Amino acid sequence: MAYDKSLADEMRELLSGEPAITERRMFGGLAFLLHGHMAVCASRDGGMLVRVDPADEAEGVVAGEHVGPMVMRGRPMAGWLRVAPAGLVGEDAVASWVERGVAYARTLPPKAGAP
C-alpha cells in the first residue's frame, strides 16, 4: 500500500511556514524532517508516524484510541507513535499530530549537513 498522498499534502501545507523542513521517502512513506530529524511521516500502512518525547510516551501522555507504538521488525520503537487513519479524523487532528512531532524535533540538535 502506498502512503496517502492527500495526507502528505495536508502535512506539507501545515509545515509550509516551518524553516528547515525537508521531505524524504522513508519506511515506504513520505517523511518530513526538521534539521535532519524525522518529525512526522505519511505511512505506507495508512495514517502517520509521529516523533514524540519518549518520556511522554512512557507516561501515557500521548495514548489514544487510535494511537500505538511504532513497531519495526517486531519491536516497539521508543519515541515513535503510529496514528491510525481513524485517529486523523476531525478538523484539527492532523495539525495536532504534526505540531507534536515538530515540537519534539525542535528539541534535538541539528544533524550535520542538515538545513
Residues 25, 31, 34, 37, Cα dihedral to 10°? -80
Q: Note whether residue 115 is domain-resident.
A: no
Instruction: Report which DSSP code applies to 93.
Output: H
Q: Kindly state whether residue 113 falls inside one of the protein's structural domains.
A: no
**Is residue 111 in some structural domain?**
no
Q: Is residue 114 part of a domain?
A: no
How does pLDDT run across 83-104, given as a tens digit for each residue?
A: 999 999 988 999 999 999 999 9
Task: Indicate the pLDDT class of residue 115, thresholds 50, 70 and 90.
Answer: confident
CATH code where residue 32 lies: 3.90.1150.30
In this prediction, residue 60 carries a pLDDT of 60
Q: Is residue 48 part of a domain?
A: yes
Q: Is residue 24 over pLDDT 90? A: yes
Task: Report pLDDT for 89.
Answer: 92
Give domain status of residue 24, yes or no. Answer: yes
- Structure confidence by residue, pLDDT tens digits, 32-71: 999 999 999 999 999 999 999 988 766 665 667 888 888 8
The residue segments making up the domain with residue 52 are 5-106
In order of 10, 31, 58, 71, 103, the CA distances from 7 in angstroms are: 5, 12, 27, 21, 19
Compute how many other C-beta atoms are within 10 angstroms of the C-beta atom of residue 83: 26
Global confidence as pTM:
0.89
112 belongs to a structural domain: no
Total count of domains within the chain = 1
